[in-house]
Structure 1
Amino acid sequence: MSYQNAPEGDGPIVTASLGGTSVAGGRGRSASDRRPVAGTGADARVPFLSRRSVRIVGGFVLPVIILAAWQIASTSGAFSSALLPSPAMVVDAAIDLAQRGVLGLFIAISTQRVLIGFAFGAGLGLIFGALVGLSRFADILFSSTLGAIRAVPSLAWVPLLLIWFKIGEESKIILIAIGAFFPVYTIVAAALKNVDRHLVEAGRAFGLNGVRLFTTVQLPFVLPSVISGLRLALAQSWLFLVAAELLGASMGLGFLLSDSSNNGRTDRLFLAIILLAIIGKLTDSIVGLFERWSARRWG
């Protein structure tokens, strides 16, 4: 965007660029209106709650409170160790499994399954979401059928996948992909359908179409929704992983949950739940890094 001189008494004329094409946007503000905004400049202070150190420290407050309450409840005698193991017992269970060489293996296997299933499911969700959101014909062809499949509960797929693919990696990855597909497909399709039509028409008027129209006009508009869909799909992938490993696995965090429950090892049960929470948050943070990069690239 740039300013051009105008006749005396009038504000500058604003020009904007859309896809490399300059567009006259009308008159801008007068010189008297273009005063520095309060709070900007090199000496501007970052709001207290927006400081990184405050956000990091604040993020640990609730976990510390939960950990303290857990420690007090488990050592006060109100609960037996079979019902509520102490944090130290959970740490000891983690050390024991790590020394046996199975803890890292379970984490790696579950993470691999989630990432592969998420990649396939989210990729297909982006493709079908874009087709349905951009094409009226694809909307008519796919929307009803995919909407009906989306209503099928996750556990309903497990017996069928086990019959088709047995207790193997294929059945688990396909189930995770199903879980990742629908959040991305639904959100992307809805976001593209709601792109401002006037904005799209303006892009076409300046010679943008096809891929250039999508990357210049439509993608920046729907990018926040796409990221939200990816984050929801990643969370769904972990949920579907547990469903798959609970019913048909010999390794993984879902198997650790099932095996610990059957053997009455609540310390390992708590360990598996905590690991799922931590790893799920870490993978969500990776999507957050992609969100910041994409905001700089297309924002």
Structure 2
Amino acid sequence: MEEMAEAWAEALAAFERHLRHERGLSEHSVRAYLTDLSTLAEHAGRLRVDDPRHLTLRTLRSHLATQQTLGRARTTLARRATSTRVFTAWLVRTGRADEDAGALLASPKAHRELPAALSRTEVRDLLDAAGHRARSDGPVGLRDHAILELLYATGVRVGELCGLDVDDVDHARRLVRVMGKGAKERSVPFGAPAAEALQAWSSAGRPHLVRDGSGPALWLGVRGGRLDVRAVRAVVHDRLADVDGAPDLGPHGLRHTAATHLLEGGADLRSVQEILGHASLGTTQIYTHVSSERLRAAYRQAHPRA
């Protein structure tokens, strides 16, 4: 990798601080921004644009064209265009540039694949099997059953789930307080099956795994520490492997499934947006396409003149 010009290095370091401390983005999001902008800085350096102050729309378009030539996926190109626009707007706002070079930069339209989701029967089989295993697998079985029930009941992100503390669950009102992206807090309801599984874990499972230093974490591993994202992914993949015909989904697949089933059951889009914690309604709208496609598939399969 070519050495980055000093002006670029200073600007990206300041932008990283902005993303972390002012916008409160996750480590994953910050890393994605910096990766995208580092490729821009390298391309600009090859064009002898050694200071982001001197970026032009032509340079930005040249960068995306080069990325396309290298075979980058449309989703990657679209994300890098977005990162660039956010960065150039920040440059102007902080006095590091006089004009916003990215204001007119268009994003390549990404092919949006419909997210995979479980059928209602597959969800029932998954949760029933987890419930049966909970009665024989001890505290870990109770924990895994409660995790699966809550993921499906609320549609929370796996990182949000792992960050839950004991006091974040309001058992009386069946609400869980979630800290989402951008440090935005929301309350998400859950139903009776999830409430029952959570109560079993809290009263008969978690106390057996608590150790000195466990702290307030809701989900604990066998050594008493807070359960991490990788462990939850392993739980979901392992339990889904026992369901005949079910796709191999991770926790995000259960989030997709929850959203799809809410809309199929008649929930309005705004409510689903709030439950999922989407900043934009447009992000939630993909689930309407999922439901419509399932309806068309069912029609084609069932109607004699489809």
- For the superposition of Structure 1 and Structure 2, which TM-score range results when normalised by the shorter chain? under 0.3
Which one has a larger percent helix, Structure 1 or Structure 2?
1
> Given the two structures, how large is their TM-score scaled by the length of structure 2?
0.24
Indicate the structure whose relative CO is greater, using CA pairs within 8 Å and at least 6 residues apart: 1
